Amino acid sequence: MAAALLAGGCARIPVAASGVEARARLLEAHAHASAPTRGVGEVRGRVGGHGGSFRAHWGSSAESLVVVGYAGPVRALEAGMWGDSVYVAVRPEEFCVTGTVVEGRRLGADEIRFLLRPWDFSAPWLRASLERASIEPRDDGWRLRAELEREEEGRGASLTLDLDKRGEPRAAAVYRSGEPEPVATVRYGRTRGYAAGRYPRWVEWTRRNARVRLDLRDVDPLPEGPLRRLPPPREAWRVLALDDPEGRRLLGRLLGSEEEDSR
């Protein structure tokens, strides 16, 4: 029922009677199998004392995500994630970082993919974790606390997810096991209807000294099939491996970390 009301786009969802009901609404509306989508939005970010903006075009399908960023007419950023493989290229700087996410570091590929698509709760391991989550009342809704684990292997991470009184996500934070500070936090704008369904109007990520906001302009259905691969780096580019300390340092700078670690 909640999903039908949400899909209508104009009906106002009543307040949930309990945290259990709010969680059920979240799962019904945002944790079903996602069809491939493509979107356009404006990205504004600040890392330390530096800021900038670009127009982002992205495609998302199952475990794959591709993002292309334009600064005016210039194609400035290319990034992709296919399973546990990652590729990030900064074209004006003529360098790219590529490699495989190594399990056992701060976050695995699944958690990174959720942070990149924080409106998508449909992954079976994530849905199962939310179904087992504890629920705490808050002044403006409820907070879910979930251990991000799968039966075959511990993930070593946890998630807090704040829901408003109608079961819509408002904030999320991902923690590494045993650490008091989150690896990253997410804030969500209010949801609205797009051609591909209901998504937040905006999403804001915070990680250490970095803050990035995406204002979603369009989200449309994408025809079935694999996402288009990004072009390979040019011969003169500097290509760094993800498991190389310098590659991690450069990627960490893009993500708001100045340390040479796997964060």
Assign residue 36 the CATH number of its domain: 2.50.20.10
- 122-146 tens-digit pLDDT: 999 999 999 999 999 998 899 999 9
Domain assignment of residue 263, yes or no = no
Q: How far is 110 from 152, CA to CA, in rounded Å?
A: 14
Domain assignment of residue 146, yes or no = yes
What is the reported pTM? 0.86
Domain assignment of residue 217, yes or no = yes
Q: How many domains does the chain have?
A: 1
Domain extent for 61: 2-255
Q: Write the DSSP assignment of 37-72 as a string of letters.
A: EEEEEEEEEEETTEEEEEEEEEEEETTEEEEEEEET
Return phi, psi of residue 69, to 5°.
-110, 135
Token output for 204:
């804001």
pLDDT of residue 226: 72
- 143-202 tens-digit pLDDT: 999 998 755 455 578 999 999 999 999 999 999 888 889 999 999 999 999 999 999 999
Helices (DSSP H) in the chain: which residue ranges?
2-8, 19-30, 109-116, 124-131, 245-255
Domain assignment of residue 260, yes or no = no
Is pLDDT at 263 greater than 50 in this prediction? Answer: no
Domain assignment of residue 262, yes or no = no
Which amino acid appears at position 143 of this protein?
R
- 37-88 tens-digit pLDDT: 999 999 999 887 788 899 999 999 989 999 999 999 999 999 999 999 999 9
Q: How far is 129 from 119, CA to CA, in rounded Å?
A: 16
Domain assignment of residue 166, yes or no = yes
